Amino acid sequence: MNRYVYSVVQVTPRVSTGEFVNVAIIAGNDQLGDWALRRVGDTSRARRFCGVSAMTAAYEFLDKVEEQIDTVNDRNDAEWLFTPAGIPDNTLSEQFIDEVSSWRRGVVRLSPPVPVAAESSEEALGFLIPELLTEPTTRVFRRMTRRRLAADMRTAYAVAGVDPSNLRARPALRVGKRSQFYLSADFAVVTDRAVQLCNAWSFQIADLDEVRRGVQAWGWNMRELRDHGGVLDSGIVVPDKIQVQVVVAPDPSSDSEGALEDARLVFEEVDAVVVPYAEREQIAQAAVKLVG
């Protein structure tokens, strides 16, 4: 389980009375870049209570929040890797919700953020909708980001029993005849040498061309590893025949399937084992055998 926060979007047509109606819920986690929003399905009651002007303001606010959610959830891996503390420099955040919830004079308000334990923002909304909204829609703005994949892969390693001393997250890895190239890896499993590398790739994001370029660059440097081996920044040797695992989050859209098929050609060429997100425990179990 991960720590998420949620906030209820409320419309208060007459500020002096303090009466309000709940029209949506926002849930998310800054570190995972995983945010979602769900609106109330039938707005007729809210319109009768709040009036057209107040509801128009609410719709405009929710539209902007949805745009921010899409921006956060689609944010490519290169951006968040080099953001301090791994927190995207984006308007939508726990801090933003906390600040907005302190504003008590507007027609549209946010309730103070409250923590909730869940596996994803979508699951958090599933817990909250029956209690806080009536007649909800099933519209959820969430995609599986690469950061989310990596976080769940770390959890899988822990559940399988991989000792933290054997796991390196985002290790600095140099490959090539003179160790002149940098190879990105989400995880390295090590003993006296590296025994497994793992990378996570999501094909559920908007910029599939960025994913293609990322996989191609990774594959080029992976060929250097296969030809010459590599070394971690700690001096641990990475053998050229090391086990390479790739966890992927596919998407049923035709564009995503095409991008995944292109990526599979790269994965196959460098002898990487491709594992769907739903079967990620296989990677962790393989790691346990390698360090055992």
Q: 257 or 71: whose pLDDT is higher? A: 257
User: Mean of the pLDDT values across residues 162-191?
Assistant: 95
Region 49-55: what's the mean pLDDT?
82
Q: What is the pLDDT of residue 138?
A: 41
CA distances from 124 to 19, 108, 110, 170, 173 (A): 26, 22, 17, 28, 36
Write out pLDDT tens, residues 121-171. 999 999 898 888 764 334 443 578 888 899 999 999 999 999 999 999 999
**Does 114 have pLDDT greater than 90?**
yes
Confidence of residue 89 (pLDDT cuts 50, 70, 90): very low
- Write 263-266 long-range contacts (CB < 8 A, 24+): 263/201, 263/203, 263/211, 263/212, 263/215, 266/215, 266/216, 266/218, 266/219
Residue 16: pLDDT band (50, 70, 90) is low
Compute the distance between CA of residue 137 and CA of residue 121 in angstroms, rounded to an integer: 15
Answer yes or no: is pLDDT of 62 > 70. yes
Residue type, 71: T
Is a pLDDT exceeding 90 seen at residue 49? Answer: no
pLDDT in tens, 218-271: 999 999 999 999 999 889 999 999 999 999 998 877 888 999 999 999 999 999
What confidence tens digit (pLDDT) does each residue in 23-35 have? 999 999 988 888 9
Q: Is the domain defined by 146-291 classed in CATH 3.40.1350?
A: yes
Specify the 3-state DSSP secondary structure of 161: coil
| Mean pLDDT confidence for 197-202 | 96
Q: For residue 192, what are the CA distances in angstroms to 17, 105, 125, 130, 234?
A: 68, 61, 44, 52, 11
Lowest mean pLDDT among 5-9, 14-18, 36-40, 281-285: 14-18
| 28/118 Cα distance (integer angstroms) | 10
Residue with the bigger pLDDT between 160 and 12: it is: 160
Q: What is the pLDDT of residue 190?
A: 98
pLDDT at res. 106: 73
Q: Could you tell me where in the chain the CATH 3.40.1350 domains are found?
A: 146-291
| pTM (2 d.p.) | 0.56
